[in-house]
């Protein structure tokens, strides 16, 4: 029998999406040998199109900010919220935490391609249409079995693996790390439309999050792009789809029709793209790291799309892991639990508090309250901009207690 082809590489990154591109570029800038393996061929469709301001801190760290700014993406300055006739917005240029004041709303096919191209320009090798089908971490070094598009396989021996595979969740599947999420099973229906929005009150420099007028746990995203199109989606508990049209476009259109403020915004839209569905996307894992590997972004945990936190968590985890791995490979003792998993989880848990508060209504009571103090609004705006790791912000340091008290005050004074 022919011996399998064997290759040795210092670091392997699984996935060429935002966290994989950022992590690999940062490691390459430190002088490390990095190989990225990507199952798909870019460009490819993905959701997660409304970036938070904190994302650009990591794009800049990886030397890609100039290219992103030159790409012509839709500038985003904040987030707007609508419920019935109520409307409020948050400006990311006015936040408690210093940082990027603006970001972008992007069609992910082009954005992810750009980041991958920038990583390659910096010397990172990316192999597209190659899939990891087995992983062995029991030996002296991690060993991956890789299958090419033509079906041939080879073995890859490496010092360390970063899993940035997103929804593919490669190592959680192969190493039995998956845990069921404690979030309810929700489903999103989404599409892209030629929006033809002529409402002068509509702000293309903000994502619009709309609450269903009667079902407060049902919400919509409207993400304008720079080319006159927008991403449109609805998110609801799986039970909310019972008894509704099985045709995805008809179902999404009906949800929109039930929401007059959004129906007015999209009155002239041209629905020209098939509607897709994504369900049961919330995920968790037993641990974020192990001997020879660490999990980044959605490969580890995904909460919910409501505050667009997924790409921010992915990029922050990439930055943290790349820094730690550089130090480890340089001979320094690194505690991945204390220096990676725990600090990353603090920000994720902060986001989790506000996601849970959105669905139980308490955070919506805060968002739609019309008389909030400017300072509290700046603190909330910081979290919505992605700065969920700033312990100086009281609503980050003590998110559950602070949100509970604030929501009680808002409802009492409404």
| pLDDT tens profile 311-349 | 999 999 999 999 999 999 999 999 999 999 999 999 999
What tokens were used for 51? 């970036």
pLDDT on residue 93: 96
Domains of the chain and any CATH numbers: 5-75+98-180+282-346 (3.50.50.60), 186-279 (3.30.9.100)
Most confident residue range from 166-175, 200-209, 271-280? 200-209
Whole-number Cα distances in Å, 147 to 127, 134, 293: 11, 9, 20
pLDDT on residue 1: 47
What tokens were used for 279? 């369900």
Q: Which single residue is written with the structure tokens 């409404």?
A: 414
| pLDDT tens-digit readout, 53-90 | 999 999 999 999 999 999 999 999 999 999 999 999 99
Nearest CA to 298 out of 123, 153, 158, 169 is that of: 169
Question: CB count, 10 Å around CB of 279?
Answer: 12
Q: Which single residue is written with the structure tokens 């509704």?
A: 244
376: pLDDT strictly greater than 90: yes
State how far Cα 357 lies from the chain centre.
19
Least confidently predicted of 52-66, 96-110, 236-250, 285-299: 285-299
2: pLDDT strictly greater than 80: no
Q: Which single residue is written with the structure tokens 């990507």?
A: 38
Per DSSP, the three-state class of 142 is coil
* DSSP-assigned beta bridge partners for residue 193: 230
| pLDDT tens-digit readout, 4-33 | 799 999 999 999 999 999 999 999 999 999
| pLDDT tens-digit readout, 180-233 | 777 777 899 999 999 999 999 999 999 999 999 999 999 999 999 999 999 999
Helices vs strands, H then E, count in the chain? 14, 19
Of all residues in the chain, the percent with pLDDT exceeding 90 is 86
pLDDT on residue 300: 65
Of all residues in the chain, the percent with pLDDT exceeding 70 is 97
Whole-number mean pLDDT of the chain? 94
Whole-number Cα distances in Å, 233 to 8, 43, 219, 222, 363: 43, 21, 8, 7, 21
* DSSP-assigned beta bridge partners for residue 144: 135, 156
To the nearest 10°, the Cα dihedral for 262, 268, 272, 274?
A: 20
* DSSP-assigned beta bridge partners for residue 35: 12, 125
- pTM score, whole prediction: 0.95
Nearest CA to 354 out of 20, 46, 52, 22 is that of: 52
Q: How far apart are CA 171 and CA 283, in angstroms?
A: 13
Per DSSP, the three-state class of 158 is strand
* DSSP-assigned beta bridge partners for residue 163: 14, 295
Q: How far apart are CA 255 and CA 177, in angstroms?
A: 36
Q: Is the peptide bond before 269 cis (omega within 30 degrees of 0)?
A: no
Residue 213 gets the label, from left (phi > 0), alpha (psi -120 to 50) or beta, of alpha
CA atoms within 13 A on the CB side of 357: 26
């Amino acid at each position: 029998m022919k011996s399998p082809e064997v290759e040795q590489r210092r670091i392997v990154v699984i996935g060429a999406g935002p966290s994989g591109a950022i992590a690999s570029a940062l490691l390459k800038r430190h002088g490390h040998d990095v190989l990225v393996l990507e199952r798909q061929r870019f460009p490819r469709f993905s959701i997660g199109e409304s970036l938070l301001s904190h994302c650009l801190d990591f794009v800049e760290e990886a030397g890609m900010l100039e290219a992103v700014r030159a790409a012509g993406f839709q500038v985003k300055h904040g987030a707007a919220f609508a419920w019935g006739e109520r409307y409020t917005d948050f400006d990311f240029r006015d936040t408690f935490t210093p940082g990027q004041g603006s970001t972008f709303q992007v069609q992910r096919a082009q954005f992810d391609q750009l980041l991958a191209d920038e990583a390659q320009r910096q010397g990172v090798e990316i192999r597209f249409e190659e899939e990891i089908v087995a992983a062995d971490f029991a030996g002296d070094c991690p060993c991956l079995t890789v299958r090419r598009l033509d079906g041939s396989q080879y073995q890859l021996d490496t010092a360390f693996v970063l899993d940035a595979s997103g929804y593919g969740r490669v190592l959680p599947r192969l190493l039995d790390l998956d845990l069921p999420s404690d979030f309810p099973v929700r489903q999103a229906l989404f599409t892209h439309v030629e929006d033809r929005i002529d409402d002068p009150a509509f702000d293309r420099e903000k994502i619009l999050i709309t609450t269903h007028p009667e079902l407060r746990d049902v919400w919509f995203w409207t993400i304008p792009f720079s080319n006159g199109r927008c991403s449109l989606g609805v998110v609801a508990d799986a039970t909310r789809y019972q008894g509704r049209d099985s045709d995805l476009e008809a179902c999404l259109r009906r949800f929109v029709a039930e929401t007059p403020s959004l129906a007015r915004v999209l009155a002239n839209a041209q629905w020209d793209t098939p509607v897709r569905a994504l369900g049961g996307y919330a995920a968790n894992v037993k641990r974020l790291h192990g001997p020879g590997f660490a999990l980044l972004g959605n490969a580890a945990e995904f909460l919910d799309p409501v505050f667009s936190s997924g790409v921010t968590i992915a990029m922050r985890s990439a930055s943290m892991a790349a820094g730690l791995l550089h130090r480890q490979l340089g001979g320094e003792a690194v505690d991945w639990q204390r220096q990676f998993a725990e600090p990353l989880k603090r920000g994720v848990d902060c986001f989790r508090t506000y996601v849970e508060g959105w669905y139980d209504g308490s955070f919506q009571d805060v968002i739609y309250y019309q008389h909030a103090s400017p300072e509290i609004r700046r603190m909330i705006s910081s979290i919505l901009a992605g700065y969920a790791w700033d312990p100086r912000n009281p609503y980050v340091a003590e998110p559950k207690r602070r949100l509970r008290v604030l929501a009680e005050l808002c409802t009492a004074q409404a």
